[in-house]
Structure 1
Amino acid sequence: METVELRVGFVGAGRMAGGLVRGLLRAGKVPASSILASAPSDKNLDAWRELGCWTTHCNLEVLQESTLVILATKPHVLPGVLQEIRPAVGPHHIVVSLVAGVTLQTLQRLLPSGTKVLRIMPNLPCVVRAGAMVFARGSDAGDEEAALLKNLLSSCGLCEEVPESYINIHTGLSGSGVAYVYLFAEALAEGAVKMGMPSGLASRIAAQTLLGAAKMMLETGEHPAKLRGEVCTPGGTTIHGLHQLEKGALRATVMNAVEAATNRARSMAEDKEQGWGEDLPSPAEQEG
């Protein structure tokens, strides 16, 4: 299946879906004319139309017009959406969920037997094609579907296939981690402001410093501890600064933040599963 011929549909047109579609469009892998998004009102759809995408208020139309269907609704809306669209889901569809906390097992139970289902977890920098994404495949999604999705998502940044159990960890590390980095960047810049540098310049330099450090990690493949050691000279400025960070327990605090966010993602997922996971009968149960 050639990606240039692919028709992509989004059920839900919120912030994360918008970030993903902007990344896809910037990469030029899917033309706007091959993208259709649905939402109950025009509140979010206006921005999609400005990008040149097709829009509708009918979720079923997305199924009728698309091969790759991306579920991007709020979690509490998803049960009703699945109930609405499942009669239209066919063997030619690839259904991809980016709804937080909803497992592949639940998606497969609430969609027709044999549906090719995958689950992705992107993060906000997908909009600037610098995202970090992971995806897991359901039991009926094969290598072809995984390769297609990875090809598309790689245009928006780093993309890795993982066991589904890693998705909540990814949320704590990268989904929430973007905010940790912004907090660190803000503190870095404010330190320079304290020492007399103008705020705008300090923020730009802080951002470029983070970008450069991240690029070196990715391109060299070196462990961050080794790269950090290469910046330190005996008795120099860097080791004095690092000593202050160690006194403030920066590493332990950041590890605690990833742990807390991961645990919160897990508990939210469990709440969703208990809240509506058993509410809807499966297609087989309905037929019976």
Structure 2
Amino acid sequence: MSTIVGCIGAGNIVKALLAGVEKSGVYFPNRIGIFDVSQKVCDDFREKGYTVFSSIDDLVKSARVVVVAVTPQVIDSIMQQIKNALSADTIFLSLAAGVSIKWYQEQLGKDCKVIRCMPTLTAQVGLGAFAVSRAETVADDDYKAVECFLSSCGIVEEIPESLMCEVVPINGSAPAYFYHMTRVILKEAVHMGFDEDTALRLFAQTMKGSAEMLLNSGMSAEMLEDKLRLKGGTTLAALDKMDELGFDRCLTEGIKACVSRCKELGNL
């Protein structure tokens, strides 16, 4: 096989994933294949040294690991091309939200090897958080090939397939919640008189440190929050107002909506 990994579709999430992989230095771009319907996207990847294919069939025949990175609305239309080219060694890494392992096996045969993955845009800076679930047909060596690829730009957590939609608001969609909150805070900071770039650096660094403390301080989120909830203090005033306006309910309902939409997308 001329490539190790081949990507069907090269939109934002694949661009982020491959940017992180490239930074790691673990894989050379010429060992990664690209197929996309956009000529501009193909040209851009070719210029960076990636191997660009003119058909899905050729890409699937060339790669051991095939990343399926098209939307659920499109995926059905490419299955026949994939089926014509796959071999017993082909491992599919599916990034399509909501699309089950069972569906792939109905389209490609019960013995096909499928690993579902919910990626994150943060892979672009080597800080991805990948939730994966594998079919019973995926042997340990097959899984390790995929894990090696993903872990070059983030952490990999294996979870039951029954939670692959429930994980979307925890990792896949979560960066957007943070970015949205950042937009609100920066807007208010500017209104109060701050330079936007200064406010951004202060807030982003604080969030970066907060995440590090969650992972490495040995304290729970509740314990860390309690350290700041001082009676009569500024933080408590802010949190009380957020509680009054239903902040927790907004987050909870958003999570439920995210999961529900993922399940809808999987109804092919």
Q: Do Structure 1 and Structure 2 share a fold, with TM-score over 0.5?
A: yes
Change (3 A) 1:221 1:158: farther
Distance in 2 of aligned mates of 1:78 and 1:199: 41
Match of 1:142 in 2: 139
| Matching residue within 228, 231, 235 for 1:231 | 228
Single out whichever of 258-267 and 139-148 deviates more from structure 2: 139-148
Distance in 2 of aligned mates of 1:134 and 1:99: 13
Change (3 A) 1:76 1:259: closer
Write 1 or 2 for the structure with the bigger share of helix. Answer: 1
Match of 1:116 in 2: 113
Counterpart secondary structure, 2:92: strand
Match of 2:127 in 1: 130
1:183 pairs with 2:180: yes
Contact 2:118 2:171 in 1 (8 A): no
Matched residues, percent identical? 29
Match of 1:75 in 2: 72
Contact 1:108 1:138 in 2 (8 A): no
Distance in 1 of aligned mates of 2:218 and 2:134: 27
Counterpart secondary structure, 1:7: strand
Match of 1:284 in 2: none
Counterpart secondary structure, 1:33: helix
Match of 1:201 in 2: 198
Match of 2:249 in 1: 252
Give 1:35 deviation, angstroms.
Answer: 0.6
Distance in 2 of aligned mates of 1:85 and 1:255: 39
Contact 1:132 1:158 in 2 (8 A): yes
Where do 5+ consecutive residues of structure 2 fail to align? none
Q: Which segments of structure 1 move beyond 6 Å, counting only runs of 4 or more?
A: none
Deviations 1:203-249 (A, max 9, x none): 22111121111121122253211111123333332222222222222
Where do 5+ consecutive residues of structure 1 fail to align? 273-288
Give 1:118 deviation, angstroms.
Answer: 0.9
Give 1:257 deviation, angstroms.
Answer: 0.8
| Matching residue within 146, 150, 153 for 1:153 | 150
Amino acid at match of 1:75: P
Deviations 1:74-110 (A, max 9, x none): 3233223221121321122211111222110010121
Amino acid at match of 1:236: G
Distance in 2 of aligned mates of 1:126 and 1:154: 10
Change (3 A) 1:41 1:198: closer
Contact 2:99 2:265 in 1 (8 A): no
| Matching residue within 55, 58, 61 for 1:61 | 58
Distance in 1 of aligned mates of 2:241 and 2:68: 45
Q: What TM-score do the two structures reach when normalised by structure 2?
A: 0.92
Distance in 2 of aligned mates of 1:132 and 1:23: 12
Match of 1:165 in 2: 162
Counterpart secondary structure, 2:34: strand
Change (3 A) 1:71 1:162: same
Amino acid at match of 2:117: I
Distance in 2 of aligned mates of 1:87 and 1:49: 25
1:174 pairs with 2:195: no
Single out whichever of 143-152 and 13-22 deviates more from structure 2: 143-152
Counterpart secondary structure, 1:117: strand
Deviations 1:119-176 (A, max 9, x none): 1111222212222221110120122222332232122223211111211112233322
Counterpart secondary structure, 1:120: strand
Contact 2:3 2:62 in 1 (8 A): no
Q: What TM-score do the two structures reach when normalised by structure 1?
A: 0.86
Counterpart secondary structure, 2:242: helix
| Matching residue within 22, 30, 35 for 1:33 | 30
Change (3 A) 1:186 1:40: closer
Amino acid at match of 1:35: I
Distance in 1 of aligned mates of 2:73 and 2:192: 48
Distance in 1 of aligned mates of 2:168 and 2:110: 29
